[in-house]
Amino acid sequence: MTQPDTALAFPTLRGHKYANLTTFRKTGKAVVTPIWFAEENGKLYVMTERNAGKTKRIRNNPQVQLAPCTARGKPLGPEVPAVARILSAAEGEVANQALDRKYGWIKKGFEFFLKLRRGTAERVFLEITPPDVV
């Protein structure tokens, strides 16, 4: 499976499967979460649950940071600033397709077991861009 080229938007993530997404609580405290991501047209896409902590924090503060990491969250490079937004259901299809292309059957298996474990939790997609892209 080929890796998407994130060189233009997020060069530190090139060739990585995982990134630490740092979101911020209302108090300003940083919360780091390892994520899967896929790149499409200079934007990163992430799948999560509507009621996940990171989603709630992004609703309050869209300023985030990204850094390449291992699957368990061990940092592999420097953090870079970014801006995240929660996509509408219609916009989420681009994100879903990008993640399907990058992770294939692994993503499908993850979704299956997530559904078994958590039932009908509603998923949403995040779009993450460099801070100067709006």
What does the pLDDT look like over 70-106, one tens digit per residue? 999 999 999 999 999 999 988 988 888 888 887 776 7
Question: pLDDT class for 117, splitting at 50, 70, 90?
Answer: low
> What CATH number has the domain spanning 11-128?
2.30.110.10
Partners of 43 in the beta sheet?
40
Residue 6: the pLDDT is 42
Tell me the whole-structure pTM to 2 decimals. 0.81
- Are 48 and 124 in contact by the 8 Å Cβ rule? The answer is yes
28 CA to centre of own chain: 20
Classify strands 123-129 and 38-40 as parallel, antiparallel or unpaired.
unpaired
Q: Could you report the per-residue pLDDT of 48-70, keeping only the tens digit for each?
A: 888 899 999 999 999 999 999 99
pLDDT at 2 over 50: no
Break the chain into its structural domains and give their ranges: 11-128
Contact 45, 94 (CB under 8 A): yes
Which pLDDT value is given to residue 7? 47
Highest mean pLDDT among 39-48, 72-81, 101-110, 118-127: 72-81
Q: What DSSP element (H or E) covers 48?
A: strand 43-49
